[in-house]
Structure 1
Amino acid sequence: MTVPNMITVARFLLVPAVVYWLLTGEWMMAFAGFVIAGISDGVDGLIARRFNQRSRLGSYLDPAADKLLLVSVFVVLGVLGQLPLWLVVAAVSRDALIVLAIFLSSLMGSPVEVRPLMVSKVNTAAQIALAGVVLAELAFATTFGPMRPALIIVSGILTVASAGAYLVTWSRHMNTHGEGGPQAGR
């Protein structure tokens, strides 16, 4: 268990706290927890690279912790009416479809290498920015003008684009590596 992995585990443990603070209206605490999680994500990556503490476990834990926090915050903000439900459903569905595709590929004996696409990285950045803006608006009882609506639109477009890109990539992989080709199992 490396130092970066311990930091990542702490980030996992921070998720229920952030969710609790959101559900109880403790906006400043929720915002602070979200910011601390973001900073810890950067710190664990820096330590892993700088001190050669990269690990296979960390390569799975780190993105899982990030995704758990972001999905949890999105869901709760949707339930609280702070994000449109269509966006929450789109974001959660996209992630569920990716996990399902990875699972199916492995189950069919054709595991797909998980590599984030550029559109996915931009999508994640937009979703993090959106969650951060909403949490900051709640924590500081302010609004940032058109920033939230703009980020909602951008996040929605990027979520759909990312889901489509992953679907195309997965379909190509399965047609190339799947058992018996594209007609197998029909």
Structure 2
Amino acid sequence: MASRWFASLPNLITIGRLVLTPAIIGMGVDQRWGPAFLIFIVAGVSDALDGWLAKTYHLQSELGAVLDPLADKALIISIYVLLASAGALPPWLAILVVSRDALIVGGVLVAWFLSRPVKVRPHISSKITTAAQLGLAGFVLAGEAYGFRAEALESLFEGSVAALTMTSASVYLWLWVQHMRP
């Protein structure tokens, strides 16, 4: 029984990350940036922990392959919309980030609808993009929580995230077109 519980642990941690997302957003909406930042850190650590457990103990599952990117997308989309709404990030960047994720999800749904399902596997460009997007969100959240702004560094980080987001979207679009060819 304990081994079955342990085998489910990565997925349970991922579900916990999904549950933390509304808490982070609620704190941000209430301008309680300190708690929002701390919960965001817990969510980030949980992302690393579930991946490490799954790989180290060979606990990868089909459910986890879907839940993990879903939890990442829920957190990233929510936090970018929150930070843009609060004036902490430029709206164009939030639109770009949300659009990339909508493109990916839309492509998966169209392929599924046309009976050409896509195997859910994150590309390396997506992993790098997700890490950069989360890094920028954490940096901006920390700035809001602790009252500092490093505008030049923030602008550089925003430009990097924008470039990575567009590159990743392009890679996924190209892979999708290749997959959908007759």
Common fold, TM-score beyond 0.5?
yes
Structure 2 residue 93 is the aligned partner of structure 1 residue 115: no
Which position in structure 2 is the counterpart of 1:173?
A: 179
Of the candidates 39, 47, 52, which is equivalent to residue 41 of structure 1?
47
Structure 2 residue 84 is the aligned partner of structure 1 residue 78: yes
For 1:171 and 1:54, the matched residues in 2 are separated by 27
For 1:25 and 1:36, the matched residues in 2 are separated by 19
The one-letter code of the counterpart of 1:111 is P
Which position in structure 2 is the counterpart of 1:147?
A: 153
8 Å contact from structure 2 (residues 80, 94) kept in 1: yes
For 1:45 and 1:174, the matched residues in 2 are separated by 29
- Name segments (4+ residues, structure 1) moved above 4 Å: none
Matches within 5 A, 1:2-81: 2-81=8-87
Deviations 1:72-126 (A, max 9, x none): 1011101111111111111111111111111111111211223222222221121
Structure 2 residue 164 is the aligned partner of structure 1 residue 158: yes
For 1:44 and 1:68, the matched residues in 2 are separated by 16
User: What is the Cα deviation at residue 28 of structure 1?
Assistant: 0.7
User: What is the Cα deviation at residue 43 of structure 1?
Assistant: 1.5
User: What is the Cα deviation at residue 52 of structure 1?
Assistant: 3.3
The one-letter code of the counterpart of 2:132 is A
Tell which structure's C-alpha radius of gyration is larger: 1
The one-letter code of the counterpart of 1:84 is P
User: What is the Cα deviation at residue 145 of structure 1?
Assistant: 4.5
User: What is the Cα deviation at residue 34 of structure 1?
Assistant: 0.6
Q: Give aligned-pair identity as a percent.
A: 41
User: What is the Cα deviation at residue 61 of structure 1?
Assistant: 1.1
For 2:153 and 2:10, the matched residues in 1 are separated by 33
Structure 1 residue runs of 5 or longer lacking an equivalent are 176-180, 182-186
